[in-house]
Amino acid sequence: MTGSEAPSPFRLAYVPGVTPAKWVRIWQERLPDVPLDLVAVSAAEAPDVLRRGEADAGFVRLPVDRTDLSAIPLYTETTVVVVPKDHVVSAVEEVSADDLADEIVFHPLDDTLDWERPPGRPAFERPATTADAVELVAAGVGLLVVPQSLARLHHRRDLTYRPVTGVPQSRVALSWPEERTTDRVEDFIGIVRGRTVNSTRGRRPAAGAQEPKAKRAGAGTGGGERRGGGSGGGKQQAGRGARRGAGASQGARRGKPRRRS
């Protein structure tokens, strides 16, 4: 690559509900010459986008097949139920799965929660997407249980949501193809993990990394000079001791009895 060519961009995939803005901002501050391209993908297609090399790394929802993908879990989301604002659920702070037993609860085809058995009564037909399910909730047809970030993403003035206990939760992770752990990927891992710009973890140390050793060597020499000064102090103490010894000898001579003639 010649000096006139711009570096290739770092491609970052992200699934609905994940907001990568803060990490993008840090990237732009630390690596202003390397563009970062955001790639919006669905939760279902995110792993294959990474495998095909269409993104260098991505924010995904677990679980993912770790046979060929590395993943760093980042956080776990609260699960909420989306309801109309005038629904009885809106009057409480949280509900349990059992509280929804008599409600029609939508289970869209793009659902990201790992259900053993979804709560509530199933709808006659599963909505294709979470967005479609939200429209049905707004129409008063049923309720929807999703990660909190998706409830925020599809926020409407006529809807609200409350936390649900006793149900699965969604975990968000940073993932990338294990065989393509490049320096740029390591840079982004460091940003996501909160490493400082001077951190020695992740990237290889710079060529000037030996400089602190030289400084420490200089400091050791200075310490030797201070130790030498300490020796000089010892000589002064020895001199004072010698004078005290001489004075004692003179006192002894003055105190010696005279012989009578």
What residues are paired with 37 via a beta bridge? 11
The torsion angles phi and psi of 99, rounded to 5 degrees, stand at -65, -20
3-state secondary structure of 21: helix
**Calpha distance 105→118 (Å, rounded):** 8
Question: What distance, in Å, lies between the first and last C-alpha atoms of the chain?
Answer: 113
Q: Can you tell me the mean pLDDT for 50-55?
A: 97
pTM: 0.73
- What pLDDT does residue 228 have? 42
Tokens 């790639």 correspond to what residue? 39
Kindly give the residue spans of alpha helices, DSSP state H, lying in the chain: 21-30, 46-51, 130-138, 148-153, 183-192, 211-254
Whether 62 and 171 have beta carbons less than 8 Å apart is answered as yes
Whether 150 and 108 have beta carbons less than 8 Å apart is answered as no
**Calpha distance 5→120 (Å, rounded):** 58
pLDDT reading at 218 higher than 60: no
Predicted confidence band at 199 (pLDDT cuts at 50, 70, 90)?
low
Whether 175 and 56 have beta carbons less than 8 Å apart is answered as no
Whether 33 and 15 have beta carbons less than 8 Å apart is answered as no
Kindly give the residue spans of alpha helices, DSSP state H, lying in 52-139: 130-138
| Phi-psi label, residue 240: left if phi above 0, alpha if psi -120 to 50, beta otherwise | alpha
Residue 119: both structure tokens together: 């709560």
pLDDT reading at 5 higher than 80: no
pLDDT reading at 68 higher than 60: yes
Domains of the chain: 10-76+171-203 (3.40.190.10), 79-165 (3.40.190.10)
Q: How many helices (H) and strands (E) are present in the chain, helices listed first?
A: 6, 11
**Calpha distance 105→112 (Å, rounded):** 15
Fill in the amino acid letter for 119: P
Q: What is the dihedral of CA 94, 102, 147, 39, to 10 degrees?
A: -160
**Calpha distance 252→218 (Å, rounded):** 52
Q: 15-19, 31-35, 178-182, 234-238 — which is least confidently predicted?
A: 234-238
What residues are paired with 40 via a beta bridge? 14
User: To 10 degrees, what angle do helices 21-30 and 183-192 make?
Assistant: 120
pLDDT reading at 151 higher than 90: yes
